Chain A
Amino acid sequence: MPDGWVGRSVPRREGRDKVTGAAKYVDDLHVEGMLHGATVRSTIPRGKIVAIHYEGDLPWDEIVVATAADVPGANEVKLIQTDQPLLADGVVNHVEEPIVLLAHADREVVEKARRHVRIEYAPLPSVHSIDDALAADTVVWGTDNVFTHYTAGQGNVDAVWADAPHELSGEYTTGAQEQMYIEAQGMIAEYDPDAGVTVRGSLQCPYYIQTALCPLFGLPPDKVRIVQMATGGGFGGKEEYPSIIAGHAALLAYKSGKPVKIVYDRIEDVTATTKRHPSRTKIRSAFDDTGKLLALDIDFVIDGGAYITLSPVVLSRGTIHAAGPYRCDNVRVDSRAVATSSPPHGAFRGFGAPQSIFALERHMDRIADYLGLDPVQVRRRNLLQQGQTSSVGQTIDEPVDLDKLVDRALADADWVAKRKAFDEHNASTTGPIRKGIGLSVFYHGSGFTGAGEVHLASKAVVEATAEGRLRVLAASTEIGQGTNTIFSQIVGDAAHVPIDRIDVVQPDTAHVPNSGPTVASRTCMVVGNLLAQATADVVGQLQGAGHLPATWDAEQFTAACRAWYADHDALVGRANYQPPAGVHWDEKNFRGDAYSAYAWACYVAAVTVDTRTAEIRVDDFVAIQEIGKTVNPILAGGQIEGGVAQAIGWAVYEDVVWKDGRVANPQMTNYIIPTAVDTPPIRVAFLEPFAPQPVAKGIGELPMDGPAPAVLNAVAHATGVDPRGVPLMPETLMDLLTTQETAQ
């Protein structure tokens, strides 16, 4: 199609509603007779609940109160396992664990009431660090605090050390990170004895919530309806936690018989909901004089918090990405997800990969430093080539050219000249300002890991109306990333119709099939592909009935639909996920084709460090990636820029301060995300696809992986210190600078 929609920057389809204030988010919805719900949470990290007292001068007889005893079905939030209760029953395992739910028509009364529920505890010992979890002196989960343990790799690292020309070890840490979507979480639930439970709200994965709510209420799926409203950002934060809020609102609705709205304020959202898993990575490496990697022995641990939730899959992705886009014959990744007494850590853009990639990309710079080589040179020595295998034994079939990717990034960033100029400046200056430039090279697998997509068995539907309009039915949610628009483009091209004839149906489990969750950079590649197939199914039916010729235009399509409806009631195209041929993943041994496609990237950051204050400013950022086919350049660019900014935040601003398992800085005034002034111009480019017949690879998570190591590598270049963790706060950097000064 010469005038195809794919590849064009079609304006965001719901843009009009968003710029006029018309878009309806959950807190904008008022349902007649609605009650306001509130959640009473634990104030201690771990202990037995001894008694609950309802005190104060309050109309307790008017207030709806729900506890674990009121859950009609099983008091379990079904995800991978069922260890997490909807409401704590007799024991609490983390601070801010929900214990009692309240609802009343007057929001002020609920506010007052939640201050007057007094809970008596018998405290139990708790665990607040990865080291304490591994020591297992106090066991808070299972027998040893370990949720999941994987071993992955290839070759034999232990055989390498004895003869290795060089060896370098290092330990790296990453902190928790708050998603800080600007719309806090919320849900409105209704219950009807005949229709069952209906929940509307801010969410990424409607079918996850349905799956969780069915056992809680003992209802079949057709009695649990989940509807997504306009959603003000997710980043993973609205992947699994919404099941809990939905369950709470639904339980209050079930008990009261009235609609119930629960909308968190910012403090509740930040203290109670999920964060990025903190991590600790130890790397032992062997390499030759040129920097060629001979062995990588990686010990990767993430802190999962009090319940298992999604930690095994976060760990899996972090494990697979731990050795980066490099060829190394001997790799061992030993990884564990451990339990602590903080609220469960959960999905967040990148999903374990940013953590392990940070460690490796900092380590690659340290190898270069150790050898006195350029960090680019050391990476080039090891870049994966077509036909080689990754650390989990996946053969890279597509014609990758990572050197070309690196070339482009270095050229756009003016690397050579800047590196030289900064070296000269730093060596000669007597002033306080230091300048540095750093890079990272990385990849990110698209879609669910291994056989995940097979297990999901996603479905998508495209319906044609008699007027020739197409209705797109998928569970994929628009959370800002452009789902509505790219789906319209893909379907528009498959049907050869203008996109204003395409209606993307708001995700509602009563109407859309389960096309899987909106996570893992899978929406465009996996679900988009299903929609293309479903549209092809529509076209095939029209052609089979003789209404549509082999080539056609929009008017012929409309005419064909009209003709079809002369003797049919409906025209429905369907597609079910079929795994690509020849793809095999061995989950037990962690070997094989981990992902059906990878996006590849090289990022470069230039920074200024003021040694008087140890403040770090990112002055320039270049993000070059190969993502296969780009469906919508403006939306794709927006994904990369937003991810880079979020990752710069993780690198140098966003410090979750923990106090006894509780976030001590849960406000936007003290949890610091970058403003427009703190964010550099982000220069994004998409490389021409490597493959001649490119797919549209996932891009949502990719930009989260590379910025933190690039920025810290630049800080190391600027100052000569060796930072090992993010966030790198000025306080930490000042200590490093002071130590360096003393040493000199």
Chain B
Amino acid sequence: MRGYLPDYELRAPASVDEALETMAQAPGQWRPLAGGTDVMVELAAGKLPPGKFLSIWQLPELRGITLDDDHAILGALTTYSDVRDHAGMAAEYPMLVQAARESGAIAIQNRGTLGGNIVNASPAADSPPALLAYGAQIELASVRGRRWVDYRGFHTGYKQMGRQPDELLTRIRMPRTPGGAGALHDYRKVGTRKAQAISKVCLAALGRLDDGKVAYLRAGVGSVAPVPLDLVKTEAALLGKTLDAATIDAAVAVAEAEVTPIDDIRSTARYRAVVSRNLVRDFLTALAAGETGARVHD
């Protein structure tokens, strides 16, 4: 059952300022529409609530990847293909590149955007775990001004987030050399199939050992909670520790307690819990074994 088109309004503002102006006049009423890879799917399934949409796809101000001394800065309309094909991204942010490669197939990667992936707020989205692990910040703009906020903590509940009704997500930035030199980047998406899949569990973990002790650790997990989840307790349990078998066992137990997966049409809570545990263990084992750089899972 397709959506009933007269229920919807769509406008294409000529600039970000015009978009913000429109959003300010009726806060919360206008939903930005970027690549359409989520909204148009809901429309086709007859599940898109009637409403007003702002097509921002054709705003060049929201595109582009730049690297300055401190950050990689990505426009909200940066597509997965933009990420996938950017040499600088591959060198420093391999988990985000891997997430981009595994989001849909080429046509989706050409259209799906990082900004859209964030504000669509699906806990199963592929890029948020990587953005969490890389300590990303996001820029929210409104006629009242622009502000940078930590991405960690942005999602506050299922499909809920710390964005004001008149705010537009405009940019994303990540610190350079995340995790420091010699960090291990491990992105592992377990999906419904090998390609063009939606995740059942997705782990992005970034860690570094100094003198055998955990000097840095950040991990994001998808599809195991109402929001893309940060494993904050697991991180806290490991920082400064030597990664021996007992520590890994204990950390895996903490991680298992942190995830709150559910049964749905794609998988089961039990499977997701076991796989989360296994992926965290697998990452920590590799870290303990001295692996660095981007881990490759065929």
Are A and B in contact, CB atoms below 8 Å, in the complex? Answer: yes
A residues in contact (CB < 8 Å) with B: 108, 111-112, 114-115, 265, 267-268, 432, 612-615, 617, 653, 657, 664-665, 667, 669-670, 672, 674-678, 730-731, 734-735, 738
Known pairs A612-B278, A657-B265; A675 contacts B195 (CB<8 A) = yes
> Most chain-A CB neighbours within 10 Å: which of B41, B44, B193, B274?
B193
Instruction: Kindly identify which residue among A108, A265, A664, A738 contacts B6, using a CB–CB cutoff of 8 Å.
Output: A108
Query: B275 contacts A674, CB within 8 Å?
Result: no
Contact A670 B2, beta carbon cutoff 8 Å: no
- Given contacts A265-B1, A268-B1, whether A664 and B265 have CB atoms under 8 Å apart is yes
5 more A-B residue pairs beyond the given contacts A670-B265, A670-B266, A672-B197, with a C-beta to C-beta distance below 8 A: A108-B6, A115-B1, A432-B282, A672-B192, A734-B275
Contact check: which of B45, B195, B196, B282 meets A667 at CB < 8 Å? Answer: B45
| Distance (whole angstroms) from the CB of B37 to the closest CB of chain A | 11
* Complex contact A613–B278 (CB within 8 A): yes
Question: Residues of B within 8 Å of A, CB-based: how many?
Answer: 32
Q: What separation, in Å, do the CA atoms of A738 and B274 have in the docked complex?
A: 9
Q: Is B236 an interface residue (CB 8 A)?
A: no
Contact between B195 and A677 (Cβ–Cβ < 8 Å)? Answer: yes
A671 to B198, CA, bound (A): 11
Q: Binding site of A, secondary structure by majority: helix, strand, loop or mixed?
A: loop
What is the chain B residue whose CB lies nearest that of A612? B278
Residue B158 lies at the interface, judged by CB distance under 8 Å to chain A: no
13 contacting pairs across A/B (C-beta < 8 A): A115-B1, A267-B46, A613-B201, A613-B275, A653-B192, A670-B265, A675-B105, A675-B196, A677-B194, A678-B193, A730-B200, A731-B270, A731-B271
Asked if B5 and A108 sit within 8 Å, CB to CB, the answer is yes
Q: Is the CB of A112 within 8 A of B4?
A: yes
Contact across chains for B195 and A734 when beta carbons are under 8 A apart: no
**Within residues 248 to 297 of chain B, which ones have a CB less than 8 A from any CB in chain A?**
265-268, 270-271, 274-275, 278-279, 282
B99 interface contact, C-beta 8 A: no
A111 to B195, CA, bound (A): 33
In the docked arrangement, what's the CA distance between A670 and B192, Å?
Answer: 8
Fill in one digit per residue for B173-207: 1 if any A CB lies within 8 Å of its CB, else 0.
00000000000000000101111111011000000
Task: Collect the chain B residues with CB atoms within 8 Å of residue A653's CB.
Answer: 192-193
Q: A111-B2, A672-B192, A672-B193 are in contact. Are A731 and B41 (CB under 8 A)?
A: no
**In the complex, A262→B261 CA distance in Å?**
41
Bound: A731/B45 CA distance, A:
27
Residues on the A chain within 8 Å of B44, using CB:
265
Q: Are B282 and A617 in contact (CB under 8 A)?
A: no
Q: Please indicate the chain A residues that have their CB under 8 angstroms from the CB of B1 in the complex.
A: 111, 114-115, 265, 267-268
Q: How far is the CB of B189 from chain A (nearest CB, A)?
A: 10
Q: How far is the CA of A31 from the CA of B5 in the complex (A)?
A: 23
Interface string of B143-172 (1 = CB under 8 A from A): 000000000000000000000000000000
* Cα-based distance from A112 to B44 in the complex (angstroms): 14
Q: For the complex, give the distance between the alpha carbons of A265 and B105 in Å.
A: 22
Q: Among B4, B6, B194, B279, point to the contact of A675 (Cβ < 8 A).
A: B194
**B190 in contact with A615 (CB, 8 Å):** yes
Other-chain residue from A115, A612, A665, A672 in contact with B275 (beta carbon distance below 8 A): A612
Q: A163 to nearest B CB, angstroms?
A: 45
Q: Which residues of chain B are within 8 angstroms of A665 by Cβ–Cβ distance?
A: 265
Chain B residues whose CB sits within 8 angstroms of the CB of A738 once the complex forms:
274
Are B198 and A617 touching (Cβ within 8 A)?
no
Closest Cβ neighbor of B275 among chain A residues:
A613
Most buried by B among A665, A667, A734: A734
B195 touches A265 (CB 8 A): no
Residues of B with C-beta under 8 A to A432: 282
CB distance from B286 to the nearest CB of A (A): 12
Query: A612 with B5: in contact, given A672-B197, A675-B193 (CB under 8 Å)?
Result: no
Task: Take A612-B275, A615-B190 as given contacts and tell me if A731 and B4 are in contact as well, using a CB distance cutoff of 8 Å.
Answer: no
CA distance A115 to B1 in the complex (A): 9
Nearest-CB residue, chain A, relative to B267: A731
Give CA–CA (A432, B41) in the complex, Å: 37
Complex alpha-carbon distance, A204 and B45, angstroms: 28
Contact A613 to B190, CB < 8 A, known contacts A268-B1, A731-B270: yes
Contacts of A672 in B (CB 8 A): 192-193, 197
B288 CB, min distance to chain A CBs, angstroms? 15
Q: How far is it, in angstroms, between the C-alpha of A614 and the C-alpha of B278 when the chains are bound?
A: 11
Distance (whole angstroms) from the CB of B151 to the closest CB of chain A: 26
Across the A-B interface, the 6 shortest Cβ-Cβ residue pairs: A677-B195, A612-B278, A731-B271, A675-B195, A672-B192, A665-B265
Contacts of A664 in B (CB 8 A): 265
